[in-house]
Amino acid sequence: MQLTDILARDRIGADVRVSSKKRLLELLASLLAGDLGGAVERAIFDALDAREHLGSTGLGRGVAIPHGRVGGNLPPTAAFVRLRSPVDFDAPDDEAVDLVLALVVPDHFTDQHLTLLAEVAELFSHTEICAELRAAGDAQQLFERISRRTLQFSEV
């Protein structure tokens, strides 16, 4: 399973406005839950928030990968947002975050969860990819660039 398998165009936002890390996690929970309802959205928010309390998922250089595990039959799902104005995310370099890819997986997806996190961390460790995403015009371009770059890395 790769990032392109779990990231859909309708879970990508460009130039999103949020006022805080908590509001960002709420937005991501909503995107990840889709039309599954408020209980699922709340479970996802709680999982993302609980993970952040263990330590920030900010990688540095303006990138964060909030992630969590939830019970039930929720499939592995990803969402991506580029923020209009960066928010503090307690990243190790103290840089505010503007590129955020969130993951949620079922509780039993231990190995797959770690593989997906490694793939995403590798993708966002490349400054040229981050620059491409920051320069993208809209959500469709963001989706195309993430998809293209993910496929390029899987071919290596």
Catalytic residues, which ones? 67
Q: What is the 3-state secondary structure (H, E, C) of the chain?
A: CCHHHHEEEEEEEEEECCCCHHHHHHHHHHHHHCCCCHHHHHHHHHHHHHHHHHCCCEEECCEECCEEEECCCCCCEEEEEEEEEEECCCCCCCCCEEEEEEEEEECCCHHHHHHHHHHHHHHHCCHHHHHHHHHCCCHHHHHHHHHHHHHHHHHC
